[in-house]
Amino acid sequence: MTDSGVGPGLSKGDSGPQDEIPGGGPLVVLENVNKHFGELHVLKDINLTIHRGEVVVVIGPSGGGKSTLCRSINRLEPIDGGTIMVDGKKLPEEGKDLARLRADVGMVFQSFNLFAHKTILQNVTLGPIKVRKMGKQEAEKYAMELLERVGIANQAQKYPAQLSGGQQQRAAIARALAMKPKVMLFDEPTSALDPEMVKEVLDVMTGLAQDGMTMIVVTHEMGFARRAAQKVVFMADGQIVEESTPDEFFTNARTERAKDFLSKILTH
Ligand SMILES: Nc1ncnc2c1ncn2[C@@H]1O[C@H](COP(=O)(O)OP(=O)(O)OP(=O)(O)O)[C@@H](O)[C@H]1O
Ligand SMILES: [Mg+2]
């Protein structure tokens, strides 16, 4: 069982957001978050609340600030105004607390970012051993459970380059889960994959969502959004332009900006 209540063996319905409220209240809260890169204002007064067990899909045109938003939530990017709270705690500036917080926020990137010279198993056990101070045996046992869960237990002894893109991305998901994060961020996790591998990764993510994991997912995969998300956030020009349910957003977007964006992704 993980801190978030989402263990490898959990099946749908075993745990819901309602039975795991250690701190109570929402899990991630952004208040008036601002971020500049030099003159460029990339996050403009972002307010966003993510509840425990909620899956939020972030969608929008290139350069709108989606990746920057994700990166600021686990503090890969510092913000210059506002606050970000994770599980009731404000993001620390640096030091041990920051390392601990990073471990609470799992992140999966477009490019899988696995360590090339380590096996898949070593990739998954590294963080738990170094940061969570887990024993090697326990870490390996848990890693194997997670690899089983993402369907690549038989690849554990291989190196990343020996795996397909879809398998590498599933290894990256297992690696993030191994830290027992409270929330998982996914930044376009399927956009670097060949089409036939997209489904296997989305299936793993859908399973996580069904098990009650809190997730923020930047993706243009509308099928996933409709199936797994409670909320769609449409971001453009550094702002949250619309926030609604997937059904509402895809069938009845309110703003011209969103309608224009949807017409482009739907027709290409
Ligand atoms: N390290 C950086 N230094 C300077 N500018 C940056 C940096 N990272 C991002 N930007 C700029 O910030 C803006 C937002 O970028 P971001 O990557 O967050 O957008 P995005 O919505 O993720 O786009 P995409 O859909 O193409 O991934 C862009 O104008 C981008 O050029
Ligand atoms: Mg991006």
HEC readout, the chain: CCCCCCCCCCCCCCCCHHHCCCCCCCCEEEEEEEEEECCEEEEEEEEEEECCCCEEEEECCCCCCHHHHHHHHCCCCCCCEEEEEECCEECCCCHHHHHHHHHHEEEECCCCCCCCCCCHHHHHHHHHHHCCCCCHHHHHHHHHHHHHHCCCHHHCCCCHHHCCHHHHHHHHHHHHHCCCCCEEEEECCCCCCCHHHHHHHHHHHHHHHHCCCEEEEECCCHHHHHHHCCEEEEEECCEEEEEECHHHHHHHCCCHHHHHHHHHHHHC
pLDDT, residue 268, reads: 57
Q: In this predicted structure, what is the pLDDT of residue 23?
A: 63
The mean pLDDT value for 207-212 works out to: 95
Residue range 67-126, pLDDT digits in tens:
999 999 988 899 999 999 999 888 777 677 777 777 889 999 998 889 999 999 999 999
Comparing 101-105, 129-133, 189-193, 204-208, the range with the smallest average pLDDT is 101-105
Q: How far does residue 13's CA lie from ligand 2's centre (Å)? A: 33
Pick the residue whose CA is nearest to atom 7 on ligand 1: 37
Q: How confident is the model at residue 245 (pLDDT cuts 50, 70, 90)?
A: very high
> Which of ligand 1's atoms lies nearest the C-alpha of 60?
21
The predicted model gives 124-153 an average pLDDT of 95
Atom of ligand 1 nearest to the CA of 61: 25
Asked whether the beta carbons of 183 and 89 are under 8 A apart, the reply is no
Q: What are the pLDDT digits (tens) for 6-62?
A: 444 433 334 444 444 456 789 999 999 999 999 999 999 999 999 999 999 999 999
User: Is the pLDDT score of 252 beyond 90?
Assistant: yes
Kindly state the average pLDDT of the residues 193-203: 93
Q: For residues 27 and 214, give the distance between their C-alpha atoms in angstroms, rounded to a whole number.
A: 8
Nearest ligand atom owner, CA of 265 = 1
pLDDT mean over 210-225: 95
Asked which of 85-94, 186-195, 222-231 is least confident by mean pLDDT, the reply is 85-94
Q: How confident is the model at residue 265 (pLDDT cuts 50, 70, 90)?
A: confident
- According to the model, what pLDDT value does residue 267 have? 67
Within 6 A (CB) of ligand 1 lie 37, 40, 42, 62-68
Please give the average per-residue pLDDT across 144-150, as a whole number.
97
Which residues have their alpha-adjacent CB atom under 5 A from ion ligand 2? Answer: 66-67
Atom 30 of ligand 1: nearest residue by CA position: 63
Ligand 2 centroid distance, CA of 175 (Å): 21
242 pLDDT higher than 80: yes
Region of poorest pLDDT, from 15-29, 136-150, 219-233: 15-29
Could you count the other beta carbons within 10 Å of the beta carbon of residue 4?
26
pTM across the whole model: 0.90
The whole-chain average pLDDT of the chain stands at 89
